[in-house]
Structure 1
Amino acid sequence: MTGEPDFHGAKVALFIDDHILVYRRDNRPDIPFPDMLDLPGGGRENGESGAECVARETWEEFGISIAVARFEPVQSYPNWRGSGHQALFFVCRLSREILDDIKFGDEGQGWTTMPVAEFLATDQAVPHLQTQVRLYLEA
């Protein structure tokens, strides 16, 4: 990705060996993708960069601090709502030891790691994020 487009939010695939870190969204009818498996990330705040956004969201959601420079920008993609600014997609590879540092936040029902192939195959994951992971792996 050369330069960042104006974006509304960012997501990151955190790879640990052949697994991916996910969390299960709250099961509430008033939120998008209730009770589905999601990746860390969220809305942009205060003009932050995409990497700053996913670093902050990873801290808020999982309590793990990852240096901004470790997030590899991959691509932008259309807003899943069909209008508005783009979203950004990042990846980061982590060691298994990071799992010991997770302090899950107050959004979502819980977290897990799962084989990447399982994440891509399940009907329980946010579909447009499965697409982004698949495109990254195929590149």
Structure 2
Amino acid sequence: MHRANTASDEPSVPRGAVAIIANRRGELLLHRRDNLPHIAWPDYWSLLGGGCDPGEEPAHAIARELDEEAGLHVDELTQLFEVLDEHGSGQLITFFAASWDGDASALPLSEGVELRFVDPEHLAALTIPPYIRDGIDRYLAARPT
């Protein structure tokens, strides 16, 4: 007996979520990743975020990751778009945006080695994973000036 494939038969694509956090000056909150063997994109600059737990929606994952990685709680997270990390984890990454005007150096960073706001004009000098750079570029092109 042959049965048709259903959505539940298909392997699910791993999911992740990241947040583009901007302050009122338009700077973006970035962190420099750890340089450890098990870390994807070691020593690269990236956005806060991470993988979704099994069954977890990206909106819940990003709120959890912001809290776990930096003790950061933002009032409103807006879902933007999705980007596939084709050269790293293979995850489908959901990008979110929020505003926050706090002191990045006061946050308790639990992952990575540095957290700071970066002026978009200085992004070209940083080593950023391609899918993160693509997402940031897309965000910057769409935001009002």
Give yes or no for TM over 0.5: yes
Gaps of 5+ in 1: 1-5
Matched residue, 2:55:
47
Match of 1:80 among 86, 108, 132: 86
Gaps of 5+ in 2: 1-12
The answer on whether the counterparts of 1:9 and 1:43 sit within 8 Å (CA) in structure 2 is yes
Residues 54-92 of structure 1: CA deviation (Å, up to 9, x unaligned): 11111111111234xx11111111233488652211111
Q: What is the Cα deviation at residue 128 of structure 1?
A: 1.5
Q: TM-score, normalised by structure 1?
A: 0.80
2:67 maps to 1:59: yes
Q: How high is the sequence identity, in percent, across the aligned residues?
A: 28
Residues 14-73 of structure 1: CA deviation (Å, up to 9, x unaligned): 111211111111112332211111101100014222121111111111111234xx1111
CA distance in 2, matches of 1:122, 1:41: 22
2:93 maps to 1:90: no
The answer on whether the counterparts of 1:7 and 1:88 sit within 8 Å (CA) in structure 2 is no
After superposition, the Cα gap between the structure-2 partners of 1:85 and 1:124, relative to the gap in structure 1 and judged at 3 Å, is closer
Matched residue, 2:137:
134
Q: Which range moves more in the overlay, 29-38 or 83-92?
A: 83-92
Which structure: larger Rg?
2
Number of paired residues? 130
2:119 maps to 1:115: yes
Q: Which range moves more in the overlay, 75-84 or 45-54?
A: 75-84
CA distance in 2, matches of 1:114, 1:27: 20
Q: TM-score, normalised by structure 2?
A: 0.77
